[in-house]
Amino acid sequence: MRKMINFVERKNENSRKFMADNTQNMTENTTPVAQAQAPVEVVENTPSNTPSNDAAVEAKNSAENTPSTTPENTPFLEEILPQKRAGWYDALVLLLLFNLAQVVGGALCGFLAPKIGMELPTEIMRESVDSEVVEYVRFLQSRMVAVSLFLGMIIGLPLVAWYTRLRGVKPSISFRRPGWATSFRLLCGYLLLWCITIAAEPLSEMLPGDQSMLGGGGWLLVSAVLLAPIFEEVVFRGYIAGLLKSAYGGLVAWLLSSLIFGVVHLYPSVILTATLSGLVLGFFYLRYRSLVMVILLHAMNNITACFLLTVDLNEVTLRDLVGQGTLYWCIYVGCVIISLLSLSRMAVVVSRIKRENIASKK
C-alpha cells in the first residue's frame, strides 16, 4: 500500500513539472511575436500618415479624370481642336513671294553692280548691230540674269519657308535619292517633254514670245541649268504642289501648280510650253516624291533649250527642219498621240493621290 501511494505522488509531481515547462515555452514563443506585431499596429494607427494617404487618393482620382492622349482618343481630339489646312490662296501668296523675290533680286543686282565693278548692258549697246557688240551684250545680259536669279533665290527660299511656317502648313519637302530606275524615268520624261513641245508647236507659233533677254554663253548655263531648276522646283513642286495636294488632292495640285508655273514665265508662247512641261514635272514629283529627279529633268530640258539658243536654232520648228511632207505629219501625229495618252495616264495616276492634312511642328 505504501509503495502504491509513493508511485502516485511521483506521477503527479512529474505531471506538474511537465505542465510548468510547457507553459514557460509557450510564453517565450509568444512574446517575440507580440513584440514584432506591436510596431506594425502603431505605424498603421499613426495619425501622421493620414495626409499621404489622402494625397495618393487625390492623385488616383486626378489620373482617372485626366483625358488620355492614347491613339484611341486621337480622333476625338482632332474633332474638338482646330486643324490648320492649306488653301488655294496659299499658292497665290507663294507665287507673289516668288515674284517679289525676283524683283528684289533684280533691283539688288542693279544697285550692287556699280559697287562691285560689274558692267551692265546699256541701251546703246543693245541697239548696236555689230556682231562683237551683240555677242558682248548677250554675255552681260546672261551674267545679270544669273546674278539676279541667285539673289532672288537666296531671298525667296527663306521667305517661302517663313510663310509656310507662319501659317503652320509646311509641306514635307523630299530630296530623297531616286531609285535604281531613275535613268530610265529621266529618259522617258525628257522624250515626253519634247513630244509635248512638238505637239504644241502650231499653237505656240501664233503666240508672241521673246527669250533674247536671257543672253547667252556660260552664264546662261549657270542660270538656266543650275539656279532656275533648283529655285523653281522647290517653290512650284515642293511648296505649291505640296500644299495644294494636302488641301485638294493630287489632281488639283497637278493641274493648278502647272498652270501657276506657266503663268510665271510671262510671255504667252513660253506660258503654253511651260504649263505643259509643268504637267510632266509635276507628275514626276507627285508620283516619285523626289525633288532631285524633277530638278535633273528640268535641267536636262533647259540645257537642250540653251544649246538651241546658242546656235540660233531656238526659233526653228520641226516643220522648218523636215518640211511639210509625210515625214513631218508622221512625227507630229505620233507626238500628239503619245502626249495625249501620257497626259491621260498621268491624270488617272495623280487622281488617286488623296489629300492629307499637314501642320508644321513648332
Neighbours of 342 (CB within 10 A): 19
The reported pLDDT for the residue numbered 39 is 46
Neighbours of 139 (CB within 10 A): 18
**Could you say which residues of the chain have pLDDT below 70?**
1-84, 172, 176-180, 209-212, 355-362
Residue 56 resides in a domain: no
Residue 108 resides in a domain: yes
Residue 326 resides in a domain: yes
Q: Which domain holds residue 107?
A: 88-351
Residue 22 resides in a domain: no
The reported pLDDT for the residue numbered 2 is 53
Expressed in angstroms, the distance from the first to the final Cα of the chain is 112
Take residue 254 and report the three cell numbers written for it: 497637278
DSSP structural state of residue 217? S
Residue 144 resides in a domain: yes
The reported pLDDT for the residue numbered 96 is 94
The reported pLDDT for the residue numbered 10 is 63
The reported pLDDT for the residue numbered 210 is 67
In terms of Cβ atoms closer than 10 Å to its own Cβ (0-12, 13-18, 19+), residue 19 is: exposed
Kind and range of the H or E element at 6? helix 2-44
The reported pLDDT for the residue numbered 76 is 41
The reported pLDDT for the residue numbered 13 is 64
Buried b (16+ CB within 10 A) or exposed e, 73-110: eeeeeeeeeeeebbeeebbebbbebbeebbebbbebbe
166 contact partners, CB below 8 Å, separation of at least 6:
none
Residue 220 resides in a domain: yes
Number of domains in the chain: 1
Residue 64 resides in a domain: no
The reported pLDDT for the residue numbered 45 is 45
Residue 80 resides in a domain: no
As a residue count, the chain comes to 362
316 contact partners, CB below 8 Å, separation of at least 6:
308
The reported pLDDT for the residue numbered 156 is 94
- Report whether 152 contacts 101 (CB < 8 A): yes
174 contact partners, CB below 8 Å, separation of at least 6:
238, 289, 290, 291
**CA–CA separation, 261 and 298 (whole Å):** 12
The reported pLDDT for the residue numbered 168 is 83
**CA–CA separation, 284 and 297 (whole Å):** 9
**CA–CA separation, 33 and 35 (whole Å):** 5
The reported pLDDT for the residue numbered 321 is 83
* SS3 (DSSP) at 12: helix
- Report whether 229 contacts 289 (CB < 8 A): no
Take residue 248 and report the three cell numbers written for it: 485638294
* pTM value surpassing 0.95: no
